Structures are given as structure tokens and as C-alpha cells.
Structure 1
Amino acid sequence: MDFELTSEQQLLKDSVRRYIDKAYSFEARTALLQAGKNGSADNWALFAANGWLMAALPEEYGGLGGSLLETAIIAQELGRGLVLEPYLGCAVLAAQTLAAAGSAEQKSRWLPQLAEGTCRIALAYSEPGSRGMPEPVTLRAERSGDGFVLHGLKSLVLGAPDAQAFIVSAKVAGTTGVSLLLVDADAAGLERQALPLHDGTWVEELNFDGVEVASDRLLGEAGQGLPALREGLAHGIVALCAELIGGMEKTLEVTADYLKVRKQFGVPIGSFQALQHRMADMAAELELARSMLHVALASMTNDDEPTRRKTLSGAKMLIGRAAKVVCGQGIQLHGGIGMTEEYLVGHYYKRAVVADLLLGSSDSHEAACATALQAELRA
């Protein structure tokens, strides 16, 4: 796979970088956090106007026809700015799951709205017992007349606070597989509880107590939704890994600048060899993580499904752990100021801690890798 960016991809990268550097300041982000907001509607509209929400959606449904690489480019640059808006939850997870699962009619109705930023859909798949993995699913969908009635709980729904609808994974009575249904956010019987995460972002817990869903809101065939759900999650894992790469890059840059200006004994502390060694270790961790992201992108293009799943689990595990190491070292090299809420470097570490648990923790993905390797050895 060629990882040299085309001229169009470089322009995309540069445009997101300019926006983050000039318009998404740490102070503006802090103001949103203090107001308890999960981003800004104006920022979301700007994302849509610049084509970032439609970059990886099919052209026939209002997208630009880009690939997962475009998603990774955008996510990496947004990660540098610790962007609060739910790009991962709505523009990647939900959009790609809908693109994989929906009928032509469903995609024609919903994907253009997602691309234009006029509608937000969130993916509600995680449950307390699944720990961020797509299975097991315990939420029940019982057939009732010309539709379904949902009972169960979904947790850690990314992008939920401002969503107009949810893609919900469920077990339909009479089937053994996973089904995906599109549920309105204001549906009767749906209880929503907003929950803050450690990094200041918000998610929701959804309790389905007899929520009625029409049959035309079933995405694809009943019991056949797991491949589409895995496809959406695969895109989400790559985007989250790319976001962490961006956060590590910015942490390294901020820390290097600080070491040049902070003085002890009359000299910049960056001249101390011990601190140079720690910066070198951080840079090495970043490059290993970047290489693993490239491996994941190549696997999504070239490998079969079992190999892709194992590779993505490896990428999520390695990059998630590397981000905590790099961002944690950034705090330590800053000393006391790195621990304050008013300084940005600690917020990259908070995001790394949260990201390590999203879409399956590093421990869960390590176990998935071990299971896949054992299966290969037995074969």
C-alpha cells in the first residue's frame, strides 16, 4: 500500500491542520468544556462545509467517495486539537455502519443528511458485559405486529448527546445473529442518561423499556447485522488510532518547546542528557505507533476478514498503550505545570486514558489477538 499522500489528500491534511491551529484553540475548547458542551454546532457545520463529514462516504449518497485513509488523515489532525465534536461517534462509527448495513433506500434517506451535517446518528452497540466489543449482545428485539419492541441497555454511546437517531444492535427473537435497527432519539420508552468521561467529553447510557420500532427501520436482514457492525467498528478503531497519533505528535511538540525555554541552573533543561533520552523514547514510541497504524490501514485494504480483525486488535492495543506512555511522559517532563487543568499537556493524557477503553480496551483486544493466534496454531 502506497502511503505517500496524493495532492488532494495533502490539501485535506493541510486544511484540517490550519483549522486546528487557527480556529480551535485550547482556550476555546476549555470554554466548551466548562459550559458542559460536547462541542459546538457552528464547528460541526464547518466540518460539513469543508467536506470532512462526507470524505469517506459513497458519492451516490452525497459523499466524496474517499477511503479509510481520508478518515485517518482527518482524525489525526483533529486529535492534535483534542476536538470535542463527535467526529468518531457520528461521522465514522454510525456513518460507516449505516453504509455497510442499510438498503439503498435507507442510505439514500440518511447518508446525505449525515454528509451535510444536518442530522447526527450515533452507534449504540456497547453493553456493560461486552466491554466495548461487538459481542455478546443481550438487548432483545421482540417481534410485535409490523415491527419490533426493544428491551435492554446500551452503554458508552459516543456522539449520543446531540444525536437524532441511534443504530442499535439487538438479538431479534427467532434469530441467532445480531440485528441492527435505527431508533429515533425521542422514541417513547427510551431513557437517556448523559455521562461525563474523564477527558471532558460526554456519552450516554440508553435504557430501552418497550421501545417500538417499525420494520422498515431494520438495517439489512434480521440476524445478519454483525458483519456491518464489525465494518463500522473497524473504521472507528482506525480513526481512533489515528486520533491518538495526532495527540502524541502534539504532546511531543509541546514538550520539546517547553524543554527549550524552561531553565534550571541557568541553562535550558532540554540540554540535560537524561531528558533528551526520555524525549527520544517518546519519539520511538510514536514512530512504532505510526507504523502500526500503517499496518492497520494496509490490512483493511489487502487482508481477509479474520486477518483484519487480528491486525486491528493489535493496532488498538499497541497504539492505545503507546499513547498513554507518550502523553504521560509529556506530563512528567513538564513537572508541576503539566498536572494543572489550565495547561494543555495533561488533557492529551486524559484523552489517551479514555481512548484506551473505547471500542474495546487494550486488554480486550490483547485477548482477541491471543485467541486468533491460538486458532491459527491449531489449524
Structure 2
Amino acid sequence: MNFTLLAEQQMLQDSVRRFVTKACGFEARAAQIKQGQHACARNWAAFADNGWLAAALPEAYGGLGGSVLDNVLIGFELGRGLVIDPFAGQAVLAAQTLAASATDAQKETLLPHLADGTLRIALAYSEPEARGNPAVVRTRATPQAGGYALRGHKTLVLGAPGAQRLLVSACVDGVGNAPGSIALFLVDPGSARLTQRALPLHDGSWAADITLDGVQVGADARIGYGGDSLPALRQGLAHAIAVQCAELVGAMEAAIDITSDYLKVRKQFGVPIGSFQALQHRMADMAAEMELARSMLFALLAAFEARDAGDAAALQLSASAAKAFVCRAAKKVCGEAIQLHGGIGMTEECVIGHYFKRAIVADLVFGSSDQHETVCADALQRVLI
């Protein structure tokens, strides 16, 4: 793949970095977290005005026609700044799943509003038994006169607080395991018999648990042409995992920079502790781990290019490999950064601990690194057998 950014892509990355530096500093972030779930998307209008929400959406439906790389560049800078607005959950996961599954008419109705920020949609696909696997769905959609009745429980719905619509996956009764069994439905979160419990996550972001107890939706609430929506779910998840990996690489890079600066000013025995060879070795190990994680992200981007060229089989495996490795690397690097700060790194007032919190939360959404590592092990076993 080509590792050189186009001029427009470099301008995009630079614009995000300038905004994050100016508007999303540590104090501003702390104030946003203190305001709770109602401020979890405080910067959404700015994201829309800068075109970031439209970056990877089709031009025909109000987007800018970019690729996954554009969203990755945005995610990288948001990760460096620990921005808590639900970009990966809403602008990537939900938007890309919708773009991959909706009919042309539905795209014309919905995607322009996603691009300009006037509509926010959260994807409710994960369930307690599924643990991030989109193919495991217990939620049922029972056909009835004029529509469907939805029953089930969705967990860890990223960006659900404040979203105007929920995109809910469910198995259609009477279809069984045949193609078309998993469908997507657009649901108003204020619907009768729908309960939403907001969940503050450890890194300051928000998710929700959703319970559907016979929620009534019309036939037009079903997204797509009636086929199986699982491929669209997998595509949206792969896109979101790429952005999440970029956020974590950005977080690791920032954590290393902050730690390096700290080691230069913190003195012990009359000299900066950065002069101690043992600490230099630890910093070198952290940098090496970060570069390996960056390479895994590049491998995932190459898999997207291969899919666009007609090879879609390797994308899911590449997404799982990147997710497993990058999440583990981020926890290791950010944890080391806390240790190199000493006791102050454990305080709420020190920014370095918040990078570790971001890594911990990232490891648990879109399926844990353990689960994705199991996917890779199973694929390897099939090859060896």
C-alpha cells in the first residue's frame, strides 16, 4: 500500500489536530465529562462543520466520498487528544453499517443528515451472550400487520445517549438461519416498551443498555432490501475497528511524548531521571510496541484495499488480528507510561492515567482482544489442519 498521504489527507489530519489542541484540552475534557451524558457529543456540530462526519460517506448522499483512511486519520488525532465524543460509535460504526445495508431511498433520506450532523444514530448489535460477535443475535423481530414487534436486550450500545435513532439487529421470526434471518431496524429511542439505561464508561465516554419488550415498528423501519444484514454489520465493525486502532495508536504516541517530556524534567539524585539507562530502555520498548501496533493498523488498511479489489475474505481476519494486537499493545504502553510517572501517574489530575483508561475501555468494545485472538487462532488451526 502507499504510505504517503495525499495533500488533502494531510490537510484533514492537520485540521483535526489543530481543533483537538484548541478545543479539547485536558481541562475542557474534564469539564465535558463532569457535565455527564448530555455533553458527551458537545463537539458534534464542529465535527459536522469541518466535514469529518461526511469524510467516508458517498458523495451521492451528502458525503465527501473518502475512504476508511480518512476516518482513520480523524480517529488518530481524536485518540491523541482523548476526545470522548462518540465518533467511532456513531459516525463510523452506525454510519458505515447503514451505508452498507440501506436501500437507495433510505440512503437518500438518512445519510445526508448523518453527514451534516443533524441526525445521530447508534448501532445496537451487541448482546450479553454475543460478547461483540454480530452473528450471535437473540433479539427477535416478529412480523405482524403493518410491521414488526421487537423483543430483546442489547448491551454496550456506544453513543446511544443522545442519539435520535437506534439501528437494532434482530432475527426475523419464521426465517430461521436462512439468509435474511438477521435484519436491521431503525427504532426511535423514545418508543413505547423500549427502556434505555445510560452507562458511563471508565474513559469518560457513554454507552447504554437497551431493552425491547415488544417495541412496535412499521415495515418501513426495516433497513435494506430484505437480505441478510450480517455482511453489512461485519463491514461496519471492520471499519470501526480500524478507527479504534488508529485512536489507540494516537493515544500511545501521545502517552510516549508526554512521558518523554516528564522524564526530562523529573529529577532524582540531582539529575533528570530520563538519563537513567534502565528508563531509556523501557521507553525504547514502548516505542517499539507502538510501531508494531501501527504496522498492524497498516495491515488492516491494506486488507480494506484488497477487499475493494475483490478479496473480501481476509478483511474480517485482519480486523480481528489488528484489534487483538493493538488493544494489548495500548494497555501495555499506557500502563508503562503510568509507572514511569510514578505515584502522580495514578492521580485523576494527571493526564497520563486517562490514556490507560481509554485503552481499557477500547479493549472491551467491538469484542475483546481475547475473543478476537480466538478468531485468529481458529483460522490458523483450520489452515494447519
TM-score over 0.5 for the alignment?
Answer: yes
Query: In the aligned structure 2, how far is the partner of 1:242 from the partner of 1:305?
Result: 21
The 5 A counterparts of 1:265-280 are: 265-280=269-284
Evaluate the alpha carbon distance shift between residue 103 and residue 114 of structure 1 in structure 2; reply closer, same or farther with a 3 A threshold: same
Contact 1:126–1:133 at 8 Å: present in 2 too? Answer: yes
Query: In the aligned structure 2, how far is the partner of 1:12 from the partner of 1:333?
Result: 33
Matched residue of 1:311: which SS?
Answer: helix
Matched residue of 1:69: which SS?
Answer: helix
Contact 1:320–1:362 at 8 Å: present in 2 too? Answer: yes
Query: In the aligned structure 2, how far is the partner of 1:162 from the partner of 1:250?
Result: 29
**Cα shift readout 1:93-132 (whole Å, capped 9, x = no counterpart):** 0000000000011111111101000110000000001111
Task: Give the Å deviation of 1:371.
Answer: 1.6
Residue type of the alignment partner of 1:283: A
Residue type of the alignment partner of 1:230: R
The corresponding residue for 1:332 is 339
Contact 1:181–1:217 at 8 Å: present in 2 too? Answer: yes
Contact 2:150–2:214 at 8 Å: present in 1 too? Answer: yes
Query: In the aligned structure 2, how far is the partner of 1:156 from the partner of 1:121?
Result: 14
Alignment root-mean-square deviation, CA: 1.1
Contact 1:195–1:203 at 8 Å: present in 2 too? Answer: yes
Residue type of the alignment partner of 2:53: L
Residue type of the alignment partner of 1:368: V
Question: Which of 231, 234, 241 pairs up with 2:235?
Answer: 231
The corresponding residue for 1:285 is 289
The corresponding residue for 2:11 is 11
The corresponding residue for 1:242 is 246
Structure 2's unaligned 5+ residue stretches are: none
> Are 1:205 and 2:209 an aligned pair?
yes
Contact 2:123–2:158 at 8 Å: present in 1 too? Answer: yes
> Are 1:186 and 2:193 an aligned pair?
no
Task: Give the Å deviation of 1:328.
Answer: 0.2
The 5 A counterparts of 1:160-175 are: 160-175=160-175
Contact 2:55–2:65 at 8 Å: present in 1 too? Answer: yes
**Cα shift readout 1:247-277 (whole Å, capped 9, x = no counterpart):** 0010000000000000001110000000000
Task: Give the Å deviation of 1:40.
Answer: 5.4
The corresponding residue for 1:27 is 27
Q: Compute the TM-score of the two structures, normalised by the length of structure 2.
A: 0.96
Evaluate the alpha carbon distance shift between residue 227 and residue 51 of structure 1 in structure 2; reply closer, same or farther with a 3 A threshold: same
Query: In the aligned structure 2, how far is the partner of 1:61 from the partner of 1:85?
Result: 23
Runs of 4+ in 1 over 6 A off after TM superposition: none
Contact 1:32–1:38 at 8 Å: present in 2 too? Answer: no
Evaluate the alpha carbon distance shift between residue 210 and residue 370 of structure 1 in structure 2; reply closer, same or farther with a 3 A threshold: same
Contact 1:39–1:84 at 8 Å: present in 2 too? Answer: no
Contact 2:264–2:273 at 8 Å: present in 1 too? Answer: yes
Query: In the aligned structure 2, how far is the partner of 1:97 from the partner of 1:41?
Result: 20
**Cα shift readout 1:23-64 (whole Å, capped 9, x = no counterpart):** 211001001112223645551100100000000000010000
Query: In the aligned structure 2, how far is the partner of 1:41 from the partner of 1:160?
Result: 11
The corresponding residue for 2:266 is 262
Contact 2:42–2:85 at 8 Å: present in 1 too? Answer: no
Contact 2:306–2:312 at 8 Å: present in 1 too? Answer: no
The 5 A counterparts of 1:108-187 are: 108-175=108-175, 176=177, 177-187=181-191
Query: In the aligned structure 1, how far is the partner of 2:65 from the partner of 2:277?
Result: 49
Query: In the aligned structure 1, how far is the partner of 2:229 from the partner of 2:235?
Result: 10
Q: Compute the TM-score of the two structures, normalised by the length of structure 1.
A: 0.98
The corresponding residue for 1:77 is 77
Query: In the aligned structure 2, how far is the partner of 1:90 from the partner of 1:57?
Result: 13
